Amino acid sequence: MQTAAELDVLRNHVKDLTASGETLALVPTMGALHDGHLTLVREARKRADRIAVSIFVNPTQFGPNEDLDAYPRQLEEDSRLLEGEGVDLLWAPRVDAMYPAGFASTIRVAEVSEGFCGAQRPGHFDGVATVVCKLFNQVRPDIALFGEKDWQQLAVIRRMARDLDLSRPHADDIIGVPTVREADGLAMSSRNRYLSQENRAAAATLPRAMQEAIARIRDGQEVLPTLQMLEDELLGAGFERVDYAALADAESLQELEAVQERAMKLLVAARIGGTRLIDNMAV
Ligand code: PAF
């Protein structure tokens, strides 16, 4: 596996790896890799000849009171894991290589980024869209893979790629990979490691309560009281706050108060022991 920390080095490696017309997949990450990330890499392996993974803890997507400093950084361990998966290229830029002095541009994707996590974390998706657009332009992959756990993030990135006519990758080549879950159903996340043993056990209420809510909605029960029950169940299990529990159109993320004839998602963000967990499931 080649590793690049500077843009010119990255570009030379990409050129060498694709010199005979090989296709290239990019898996963007912030590191602290778990099985969810490795599933993205394995999916990439099925779809492209070469795999590049980026590891960059992107400061512009963290709010002033969020966990930028505490976010786990373990480049050596991550690098070993990626090597074991047969990744060809690791792009791990420093902050000043990504955002040199004088950097002044931001990509803002209206509407789809405004509700849910966008409303709770002002500027978060501007930071995500900007860094992902840069990663796409730096690596110029044929395809890029993202976990569906961050469903709104995926919707924002696809919208950006469509709106800006990106070609490497094209919006249709931005691939969402189903959420990987722990044995008790909790969605894998680098932030799960912040949870105490007690909170980790209680956190499994989140996917369980979501499944129950989906079963009730499919059973014809009203949406808003069902969402209220879901919130109450989480608070009763030890979550200190539910940022949102909502039914939404799966693509536009428009919030829905009743079931409709279209693809829908149940989206939840809730905090336990100071850790914010998000999850989503098809309804
Ligand atoms: O999902 C993540 O890990 C990050 O938001 C991403 C897409 C790598 C952008 O920093």
Task: Retrieve residue 140's tokens.
Answer: 């110029």
Specify whether 37 is catalytic.
yes
When pLDDT is cut at 50, 70 and 90, the band that residue 68 belongs to is very high
Q: Both 166 and 216 in a single domain?
A: no
pTM over 0.95: yes
Q: Tell me: the pLDDT tens digits for 126-167? A: 999 999 999 999 999 999 999 999 999 999 999 999 999 999
- Domain co-membership, 114 together with 243: no
Task: Give the pLDDT score at 32.
Answer: 96
User: pLDDT value at position 22?
Assistant: 98
Domain extent, residue 133, equals: 2-177
142 CA to middle of ligand 1, Å? 18
Which residue owns the Cα nearest ligand 1 atom 8?
29
What is the overall mean pLDDT for the chain? 97
Instruction: Count the domains in the chain.
Output: 2
* Strand residues in the chain grouped as ranges (E): 2-4, 24-29, 50-55, 89-91, 143-147, 174-177, 241-249, 255-256, 264-272, 275-282
pLDDT band at residue 29, thresholds of 50, 70 and 90? very high
Mean per-residue pLDDT, 177-181:
98
Averaged pLDDT, 43-55: 98
Q: Is 58 in the pocket of ligand 1 (CB under 6 A)?
A: yes
Q: Which of 34, 37, 124, 170 is catalytic?
A: 37
pLDDT band at 179 (very low <50, low <70, confident <90, very high): very high
User: Residue with the nearest Cα to atom 5 of ligand 1?
Assistant: 128
Cβ proximity of 132 and 157 under 8 Å: yes
> What is the rounded distance in angstroms from the CA atom of residue 53 to the CA atom of residue 174?
15
CATH number at residue 214: 3.30.1300.10
Report the candidate in 28, 21, 29, 16 with the shortest Cα–Cα distance to residue 48. Answer: 21
Q: Are residues 203 and 172 in the same domain?
A: no
271 within a domain of the structure (yes/no): yes
